[in-house]
Structure 1
Amino acid sequence: MQRDSALSGLPQQRSLSSVIPSAVTRTSRLDPLSLSVVSMDNRQAVIIDIGAILTKVGYAGEFVPRAIIRTELLDDRTGEAVKVLDDTLSEQELYYRLVKFFRELFFRYMLTAAKDRRIVIVESVLTRTALRNAMARVLFEAFDAPSILFAPSHLLATFPFGVSNALIVDVGYSEATIVPVLEGVTLLYQLETSAVGAKYLEQRVYELLRKYGKVLTYLGVERSLTDNDDLLLKKEYTLEDIVVRFCFATKMDRGRIIQASGYDPEQEIPNPPCDVRLPFGEEMLIVPGLVREWAAEAIFEENDDIKSLPQLVLDTVYRCPIDARKKLLESIILVGGTTRMKGFYARLRDEILRSLTTSDYANKLGNIKSVKFYRLPNTSIELYASWIGGSMFGALEVLQYHSLTREDWLAQRKVPDWITSVYENNQDSTRSR
């Protein structure tokens, strides 16, 4: 099991919650410090997964987040929604936004104080060091959190499925990241990434709408989109709405015909999907069926500028140990809201199988004939698989031994990166021998 491999080698210690109560019953007075530790350890940890677009928050041991909200705040000066995680912000501006955002998470959605709970932050292994330090500074210094665990999201995604070997295909907002996990170990050197994320899809939808989209005015007249419509398209999350609700991944054979046509609407492709209409201010936006069908081709098309998702998957697998390649391609876990697009699983499987027969991969991976996925039916687990993994780990007694305490932070005022943590753990293991 994943948890067994992740926790192997740890000393067998009891948690504070199992030690202190018995000690209290043997004393004639109740020590306030002891009571506070007991109270904290008996309370569920808070699990927070902050994404570029959505944030998932809830308590350890729960199966779904308490809330899934946008990672945004209302700007005090303009009154408009602004992103919390903005690479253009200064260190102080980021600090103030995180303080305001965490205050909303704890007091509006979780109805608890951070100083009474252990905290698990679910993060990508590619998270910027400056952002990790900023979050730690906010939680430790502004909210007096007792401890924080920064847990790798791709490893946590394997926990709900109870597996220790998997290929994590994370299609996020800004990029797609492929991370292999073998025997509970994240293989960072085999990691592959590309810009084929939700943002890339939204840009493709925008380009197609400017060419083929129409606006139905209140007079019943259709017109083409103009530059004046751009603000409404991007401000009201219209592009995101189209991608999430109406776009789909068509069958591979049909997708190949579309790509071969050069995305030419004059080429007759049988059974085109129907158009849809969306409110667009005081008018209606007409989204042609070809936009709904063609947008997803951005993820699967092959070009010299950017790797497609199937290429990323196969390149990652090829860089892994030869005896693990077949196992990884039969243990794929999809993560990210984009992967919930209708037809995505089937299209990705077919594209990978087709690529295995091409000259680029036939000699390298030609002996692999099957591609399989881990799925939980009738759930939206792709949206919060990593959060569930954090919820599972946060409910374990060993959480306190893996966490960064407030005292450690005040002594160094920085969060160790993953390479440093792995090195120090190996050094500790060597000394213990």
Structure 2
Amino acid sequence: MSMLKIGVAGLGTVGMGLLKLAFGQGPLASVVQVVGVSARTLGRVRDVDITHLTWFDDPVELAKSPNIDVFVELIGGADGSAKDAVEAALMAGKHVVTANKALLAAHGAHLATLAAKHGSEIRYEAAVAGGIPVIKALREGLAANYITSVSGVLNGTCNFILTEMDESGRSFAEVLAEAQRLGYAEADPSLDVSGADAGHKLSILSAIAFGGPPDFSSLRLEGIEAIEPIDLESAKFLGRRVKLLAKAARVGSFIVQSVRPTLLGQDHPIARVNGALNAVVIDADPVGRLSLVGAGAGAGPTASAVAGDLIDLSHQDTRPVFSGPGQANSRFLPNQQGSAISKFYVRLRVADRAGTIAKITDTLAKHLVSIESFLQKPPEDAARVPIVLTTQPMAEGDLFKAMAELSRLEIMVEPPILMPLED
């Protein structure tokens, strides 16, 4: 074990949580010495004394300082100063510990190449699922396993919103406003509610589980903006829960990745993961199915993950940046709309007039859509009737064709909503 001299860039919630651990009485304090810090504002009031540390206005200068062994990047963002500083650290032969999922999703292959060239390590447990040690589980604990799928709830903001909508019956807009007041959602929540944040994390998990660098561009992304209380109520009636499911799975010789709202069976290990919690489910051979649940964000959980990476580095532990032992590189297949085969949930809003149901069933039959359940809800007003149905297993592309024809009929009030079902 060796004492590491570290520089920390980014003194927000996680950065301050890490400094508390480094200056405390726990295991981290015995293996690291913080020698330099960098943030946007020097004079900001902080709850940890940093006056004895060397201050760097430019994180790039901290990253390549000869006085540090490890550069800890907690700035965030795929580009800009975070990327510049991490590149500088790697080219200077420094190890890097980061919580930056966007950076790794966008530039993981490039950074892994730099690390290999200069003999540096990149550690990023904190980039996915906060305090849940899923990176370590995949890279170490499951290194001898053949991974078939990785799935999870990877965005606490979305999980909080869907949980509150489900429990209170309030609209997406109302619960989003509450999430912003409570600090669960940013003033601009688009990265979270669009599914992009979960997609960044999933691309990292996929890279470790299946080999090769992250491939965010092949992900299919759907957010939760269109989900309404009627969908959560209908899911509950069907014995299911709506979750924003991030999933990467083997399909033949390819890996298919998606983030999309999904109706999970009540017995699914993710179905009852509520609030701002994260969860990851790994299916592997020979170990079987593993479920990990915990806090996905916050000062304590995320700083804990950063500290764990630093302790590993103090033991001079080395690992490939992405590919794990026994994992062959796999091709990530672009997950285009229409490629899934599943049961599906469909929500329609139609005109309240005679013959509407017949037109719907005739159109579905024409496209060989086999209906498993059909529920007509009470009219919402004089012009709109909600209809919810579920299908038997089918190709999503065929369902799209049926929905496209339905959408051209005068009975349709708004475009249909489709979500897969998973048990």
Q: Same fold (TM over 0.5)?
A: no
- Richer in helix (by share): 1
Determine which structure has greater relative contact order: mean sequence separation of CA pairs < 8 Å that are 6+ residues apart, divided by chain length: 1
